[in-house]
Amino acid sequence: MRASLRATIAISRVELLRLLRSPTSFTLLLLVPALQILLFGYAIRPTSAAVAVAIAGPPAGQADIARLARDAHLTLVAQNLRPGGARAMVEAGKASIGIELPIEPFAPVRAVIDASDPNLTAVAEQKVSAIYWQALAERNEVADIGPRLQIDRLFNLDARPDWAFLPALAGTIIMISMLMLGTLSMARERETGTWETLASLPVGRVALLAGKTLPLALVGTAQGVIVVGLSILLFDLPVRGSIAALLVLFPIFASAHLILGQALAARARTQLAALQGAIAFYLPAMLLSGFLYPFSTLPVWAQWLGNLFPLTHLIRAAREATLRGGDAGAVLLQGASIVMFLAVTLLAALAQYRSRLD
Amino acid sequence: MKAREAPLISVRGLGRRFGTRWVVRDLSFVLMPGVILGLVGANGGGKTTTLRMLAGLTRPNEGEGSVWGRDIYRLDRQARRDIGYMSQRLSLYPELTVRENLAFRGALLPPPSRPTIDLAIERYGLSEVLDTRFDLLSGGWARRAQFAAVTLHSPRILLLDEPTAGLDVLTRQTIWHWLSEFADAGHGVIISTHDLAEAERCAYILHYADGRVNGPMPPAALVVEAGAASLEDAVIRLATRR
């Protein structure tokens, strides 16, 4: 019994020492929670401050609605638009809420809401209702006498959360798998020594990188096709825009994350350190991309940060191609940022390959 | 060494440090065709770093040199074609069979012709394990497969990092037989080893101690220089001499 206790204490002591003397494991324990605390504490605040509102209709009453919108912590991006102008801004993705004030006395106030993100829809509908009731109260009107409120949801009539979630899921699955595949494949090559051998052979860096990336990028593309295909077949996800353009983006998006994973692993000494780098990348990407929380409710600095992640743009592209009915141009426009990210990771990986084993 | 032939490798004052610690310093030697040069000395003495510098895997911090006529700081693809580098680890793809590993090597290194691969299979007696996964091979078979892969493109220079470590005496004999054949064909071999009986088979040796390099010299010359009775005794004396 005593021997067993002594053994337990000895093993525990060694385990603790190993942990304290391994900077990678220790950092892993500190970095990820620190990242979560910072992101959840500062960035993931469901604030409506950045939710964009546009107001159209007759000038009378616009100033009051604009004031109430500001009081409700919404961001007014346009007012005094011609009738239909607010709706057009929501359709173009320039505003999340469009308020169309009635021209005729007994016509309803129409609030057009971008429902492609149901989380945002709930916030927007709540805010619009609050503004409506506040406006009525200020005019000493009641709902029966004053104009009625009619809410029109665009892109996702029933605000189905699965319709918003599924296109975004394609990007998230590709991102995590490709980062892991890229990281582990390179880390394994380094640990088994095959990387050292490859580096000694007369193989150019570009051929090396392309050869290691292309087959896995095809796997990532297949993942995206399967997720979108199953979403259409099983969950009636509408395809209103250019799905072909989205399919063009999948291999670019997959390659960007594969190469990032390879660059991380080429830099790191162990698989664990490389995985830590991958986690430190994809955790904020998931939180700040609009996958888990509505992008437009994030603080401006968090949105700026979120725009650096390719996932943010792939989610937008996927929603354009499915829910929003974006044409090839609108979908591929989101791809520009992904291509830029790919170029940066490519340069970083080539620089890593240049240094080879030093 | 044969003076009239062009050297395969020539380095002068080569050095490499990691941080502030010099792992190799003042390394100078010439490797002529047909010569086997052995690297001996304690672990961490700089033998692997030397091989890596010569293979273009680690950049020297000082000195100058050339490998088969090319600047050691700029070993291009052509230079790499003339080098066969074998690391300490059994660095072929573990999930692939021997045949697949050799075919992959053949595709990267001209000439990738099938007869070349067949020749290597026959030469290293690999036909019975050709379709066996590399990670299922015993140490001896794995080294044979690695030799086949490293020599597949008929390199002019072989850089071998402890290729006989952990192998039985028969396999070691076989490997030395191959190395002698390779050198007799006019190629050059640099081999690091802890086995001093093996080191005695080298025409010249470099002795590593505390980042400094002694040699090159014939093994017998090192014994005389250390005032020792044998090469093992000489290495021990030099390692403990401060």
CB count, 10 Å around CB of A283?
Answer: 15
- The answer on pLDDT for B3 being more than 60 is no
Q: A3 or A22, which is more confident?
A: A3
Nearest to B89 among A192, A199, A357 (CB): A192
How far apart are alpha carbons A333 and A316 in whole angstroms?
10
Q: Which two tokens stand for residue A316?
A: 């937008």
Q: Which two tokens stand for residue A2?
A: 């005593």
Task: Kindly state whether A202 is in contact with chain B, defined as any CB-CB distance less than 8 angstroms.
Answer: yes
Alpha-carbon distance A171 to nearest alpha carbon in chain B (angstroms): 30
Residue A200 and residue B83: Cβ atoms within 8 Å? yes
- Mutating which of B87, B105, B153 best tests the A interface, going by the most A Cβ atoms within 10 A? B87
Q: How confident is the model at residue A354 (pLDDT cuts 50, 70, 90)?
A: low
Q: Mind telling me how many Å the CA of B127 is from chain A's nearest CA?
A: 23
| Shortest CA gap B101–chain A (Å) | 11
CA-based nearest residue in chain B for residue A357: B57
Residue B91 has its nearest CB partner, among A197, A204, A356, at A197
How close A196 gets to chain B, by Cα (Å)? 8
Mean pLDDT of chain A: 84
Between the alpha carbon of residue A160 and those of residues A298, A313, B48, the distances in Å are: 22, 21, 62
pLDDT at A31 over 80: no
Res B74 pLDDT > 90: no
Q: Among partner residues A194, A201, A202, which is closest to B92 by beta-carbon distance?
A: A194
Domains with residue ranges and CATH for chain A: 52-154 (3.40.1710.10), 161-355 (no CATH)
pLDDT band for A45, please (50, 70, 90 cuts): low
Quickly state the pLDDT bin for B115 (edges 50, 70, 90). Answer: low
Any A CB within 8 A of B154 CB: no
| Closest to B66 (Cα-Cα) out of B152, B6, B109 | B6
The answer to pTM > 0.90 is: no
Residues pairing with B27 in the sheet? B14
- Dihedral sign for Cα atoms in the order A9, A11, A17, A19: negative
Q: What is the pLDDT of residues B141-175, one digit of tens each?
A: 898 899 899 988 888 899 999 988 888 888 888 88
More confident residue, A290 or A136: A290
In contact, A113 and A153? CB cutoff 8 Å = yes
* A203:B88 CB<8 A: no
Q: Which sequence spans correspond to the domains of chain B?
A: 33-57+157-242, 94-155
Above 60 in pLDDT, residue A278? yes
Residues A78-126: tens digit of each pLDDT: 888 888 888 999 888 888 888 888 877 777 888 888 888 777 777 778 7
Pick from B83, B89, B88: nearest CA to B31: B83
Nearest residue of B to residue A193, measured between CA atoms:
B91
A191 pLDDT exceeds 90? no
Helix (H) or strand (E) holding B16: strand B9-18
* Whole-angstrom distance, CA of residue A338 vs CA of residue A175: 12
Choose between A247 and A186: higher pLDDT. A247
The amino acid at residue B121 is I
Q: Do B77 and A194 touch (CB under 8 A)?
A: no
In chain A, which residue's Cα lies nearest the Cα of B151? A201
pLDDT at A50: 65
Distance from CA of residue B92 to its chain's centroid?
17
C-alpha dist (Å) from residue A41 to A50, A298, A349: 18, 12, 33
Question: Residue A142's pLDDT is what?
Answer: 61
pLDDT of residue B2: 46
What is the DSSP annotation of A130-196? HHHHHHHHHTT--TTTS--EEEEEES-TT--HHHHHHHHHHHHHHHHHHHHHHHHHHHHHHHHTHHH
pLDDT greater than 90 at residue A245: yes
> Is the ipTM reported for this complex over the cut 0.85?
no
Regarding predicted confidence, which is higher, A250 or A204? A250
DSSP string, A93-113: TS-SEEEE--SSTTSPEEEEE
Q: Looking at the domain covering B33-57+157-242, what would its CATH class be?
A: alpha beta
* A164 or B77: which leads in pLDDT: A164
On whether any CB of chain B is under 8 Å from the CB of A194, the answer is: yes
User: Cβ contact (<8 Å) for B58 and A358?
Assistant: yes
Average pLDDT of span A15-35? 74
Q: Which residues pair with B40 in a beta bridge?
A: B207
